Amino acid sequence: MPAFASPSPSTSRHPHPRAVAGALVTLALAAAGLAACVLDVSTSGTQDLEVAVPADAPSVSVRVEMFNGSIEVRAGAAGRVAATVTTTGAGRSKEEAEADRAKIQVTLDATPDGSVLLRAVYQPSPGSPGHRSASAVVDVPPGAALDLHTSNGDVATAGIRGPIQVATSNGAIRLAEAAQGATVRTSNKGVEIDGSGTFDVETSNAAIVLRGEGATVRARTSNATVGFDGTFSDAAQSLETSNESIYVQLPGGSSFALDARTSGGAEVVVTGFDVQTTGAASSGTLQGTVGAGGPSITLRTSNRNIQVAAQQ
């Protein structure tokens, strides 16, 4: 009977205890090094900046660029843009954190035609500032046009008569008295706007609440409600979400064309308006006209109701 072959030395040899101990020491030193690099101390400070702009300029435009922080813009006096910027640095000690904060460069510049740029940049790594942050509170002429950019921070404006553009991420947006509409992009946080003009809004996993007079609306989110209360312009309107409800409230006696669709056993419910069906009609789909017809209102969701109601 043939004997079983013995395992080769290469497969039967065990690591020497000293080699194992050495590897463990190396891992421990690496872990200690990582722990020493943790930036668990932060320090913050503020600075005030101001720049003059033409008081009689037909249009003042203000662009703000922050990171990992909020932006608040308020209607102030004509002829000036003023800002308070708060910056935060990180390090292993207070001294390191303060030195790190000094690497955040904040500038406020204006051109003769009224274009203003307020910017905060973390110079060692502008595209990836890590735990550092910069936020701003800014006073601008009421008629200024705004272009606001940040990340991981909320954005709020009040009393601005010029057009507004906002781009952030993981930040809520609240625009009050937006007289010339707004273009808004964020994610995972809600949007609330009241005013007039065109509202072009996109977020995700968070609600959109709009109130407007003569508004043109394009609103899109997911897994959260979308609501509008006010009056629409004569342009096409579109509100879209998924797995949540859509609410639209308009004055009684309004005229419009409705194209509303949901799914999953949910319903389209119209209250206070008589709908003349012109296309598909079922519990989850309704195409028709109200009154004399007018601007098209397209509503899309899934698994939740769509409600269109006359204002009380």
In a domain, 164, yes or no: no
Q: Total domain count for the chain?
A: 1
In a domain, 58, yes or no: no
At residue 272, the 3 state secondary structure works out as coil
Give φ, ψ of 265 to 5 degrees: 85, 0
Judge residue 95's burial from the number of C-beta atoms within 10 Å of its C-beta, 0-12 exposed, 13-18 middle, 19 or more buried: exposed
In a domain, 175, yes or no: no
In a domain, 287, yes or no: yes
Contacts of 259 (CB under 8 A, 6+ apart): 279, 286, 287, 296, 297, 298, 299
In a domain, 134, yes or no: no
In a domain, 77, yes or no: no
In a domain, 300, yes or no: yes
- Kindly list the distances between the CA atom of residue 196 and the CA atoms of 29, 190, 213, 215, in Å, as whole numbers in the listed order: 61, 19, 5, 5
| Range(s) of the domain holding residue 286 | 190-312
Quickly tell me which residue has 């020491």 as its tokens.
Answer: 25
Judge residue 153's burial from the number of C-beta atoms within 10 Å of its C-beta, 0-12 exposed, 13-18 middle, 19 or more buried: buried
Q: What share of the chain is helix, strand, coil (3-state, %, to 5)?
A: 10, 50, 40
Please list the pLDDT of the chain residue by residue as tens digits (312 residues).
Answer: 333 333 333 434 455 555 544 554 454 444 444 444 567 899 999 999 999 998 877 789 999 999 999 999 999 999 999 999 999 999 999 999 999 999 999 999 999 989 999 999 999 888 889 989 999 999 999 999 999 999 999 999 999 999 999 999 999 999 999 999 999 999 999 999 999 999 999 999 999 999 999 999 999 999 999 999 999 999 999 999 999 999 999 999 999 999 999 999 999 999 999 999 998 778 899 999 999 998 999 999 999 999 999 998
In a domain, 19, yes or no: no
What pLDDT shows up at residue 17? 52
